[in-house]
Amino acid sequence: MTHPVSRRTALKQLGAGTVLATSMSLLHASDAAPAPARKGRVKQSVCKWCFKDIPLEEFCAAAAAMGLQSVELLGPKEFPVLKKYGLTCALVSNPNTKAGEVSVGGITKAWNRLEYHDALVAAYEVRLKETAEAGMPTLIVFSGNRDGMSDEQGLENCVIGLKRIVPLAEKLGVTLVMELLNSRVNHKDYMCDRTPWGVELCKRIGSDRFKLLYDIYHMQIMEGDVIATIRQNHQYFGHYHTAGVPGRNDLDETQELFYPAIMRAIVETGYQGFVGQEFIPRGKDTAAALAALKHGVQVCDV
């Protein structure tokens, strides 16, 4: 297991620069006591988009100082900043491209439509190479919305398209993960919205380099039974995301999931990948947002 960057290392990397000084001041503004020793059995990451108001460099300095190993859902342009702070990008963002006049590659328009495949294959071949060259492990994909299409037809179409890029992923050693998202609250009509559909997709593709992103928040909304699902299907899960339910906010006592038990269940499966914090902090100023992240990291350190 790669050891997280220590506070001392992060300080050395930035020297006397003001970015880290500001981040450390904000991170500990409401908590002057030293952080407890980390158990480190769960490799933790954080999604930058949830903390969009904090500049990337400042955020990376704070993330490294609190023991995170990754800032994710970023692209190649951001990789140099991550590496400056000893961080990886555990989950690389999807490329966006055009199929004719249609923007494709994101959540709503993606692999379940045959007419998008040529554009998606070309874009993903480039992003896969960029991901591998930077030493990043995992790249996200989406199913797309149903838009009247049956789940079975969408499944068949996803298999056809994804099998065109899986051989390159295998060659490069990059894992593609399709995200499971809820279609009840956040992503109406999204097709890959239940674990059985995603697992069937994995089975039909039949590659260790294609798995699911099991988003705990989204699947609690759609299915519940999170721990049992993890135990039964962990071999198909290549990445995990967290957030509080309801609301997608902090991992605190106001939400219904007990994350320490969920994290222990993940560890017990032998999972060696990353768990990404993907909650939107209630506190909107930088100090409050970073304090919420620090708390979430501690909650998931089992």
Residues serving a catalytic function are: 179, 278
Task: State the residue for tokens 């962990």.
Answer: 234
CA distance to 5, 14, 119, 139, 184, per residue, from 213 (Å): 25, 33, 23, 10, 18
CA distance to 55, 147, 195, 221, 223, per residue, from 216 (Å): 27, 25, 11, 9, 10
Q: What is the Cβ-side half-sphere exposure of residue 254, based on CA atoms within 13 angstroms? A: 9
Provide the CA 85 distance to its chain's centre, in angstroms: 19
> Measured at the alpha carbon of residue 290, what is the angle toward residues 286 and 296, in degrees to the nearest 5?
150
Adjacent-strand bridge partners of 46: 71, 277
CB contact set of 48 (below 8 Å; sequence gap of 6+): 56, 59, 71, 72, 73, 74, 78
